[in-house]
Amino acid sequence: MPVKEKNRKATKKTPPTQRSLEVREIRDDCVVMKDGSLRAVLLVSSVNFALKSEDEQNAVISAYVSFLNTLEGPVQILIQSRQLDLDNYLLSLTKLEREQTNELLKLQTAEYRQYISELVELGDIMTKRFFVVVPYNPLTDQRRNFWSRTGDLFSPSGTITLNQKQFAKRHEDLFMRVDNVISGLSSMGLRSSMLNTQSLIELYYNTYNPTVSKNEPIVEVGKLKIEED
């Protein structure tokens, strides 16, 4: 291969990661996909099913079946496992130790900080978070069956730009669907909270950049600078 051709290939600009994602933007507490559909994400609490009595387990199962029957469209249930980050907690303990005037309490704080530090080093402490993703696309919801609509969650097609009126209408309908999902989750004894714009950006940033995000946390949404192609 000629040297010039090699140089041309080496200097060719690599497409940004954003072009490979189906996410167009995050705004007004929802995710706007390239196909014009919207997503809302709920952070949901959990229940320890194994520790419940048989009657309680049957009640949970019955409530879950009722929840599924009340859904107006498909949802995604996502479980995210991450290593528990205790760096900020350890820093707060170090600060507390320095500010402590009582020598006994200062010694106890130092021992406790050392214990937590050694515990983290000995094994990976994992934390789990549970999410329910609520999608909304009036076109696919009306024309396709359940399995086709579920497939659209994973492989949306085409790029559609929504004007402000279209976005406002879909945003309103999405939030009505979110209210129904929250109500259904509440019937199972689960607490849920919809992620706002800042939380959504942090979720996607941490998910796609698990290593970088530990050293470079995302800034507040108002301070972000977005460069468009």
| pLDDT tens column, 26-66 | 999 999 988 889 999 999 998 888 899 999 999 989 999 99
More confident residue, 167 or 215: 167
Please report the pLDDT score of residue 221 as a whole number: 58
Rounded CA-CA distance 145/216 in Å is 43
For 133, list phi and psi in degrees, rounded to 5.
-95, 125
- Backbone φ and ψ for 129, nearest 5 degrees, come out as -125, 145
Average pLDDT over residues 91-114: 90
Which neighbouring-strand residues pair with 170? Answer: none
Gap between the Cα atoms of 137 and 142, Å rounded: 9
d(CA 109, CA 94): 8
CA distance 43 to 199: 10
pTM: 0.69
Torsion 78-43-207-138 (CA) sign: positive
Instruction: Assign 207 a pLDDT band (cuts: 50, 70, 90).
Output: confident
Q: Do 130 and 185 contact (CB within 8 A), yes or no? A: no
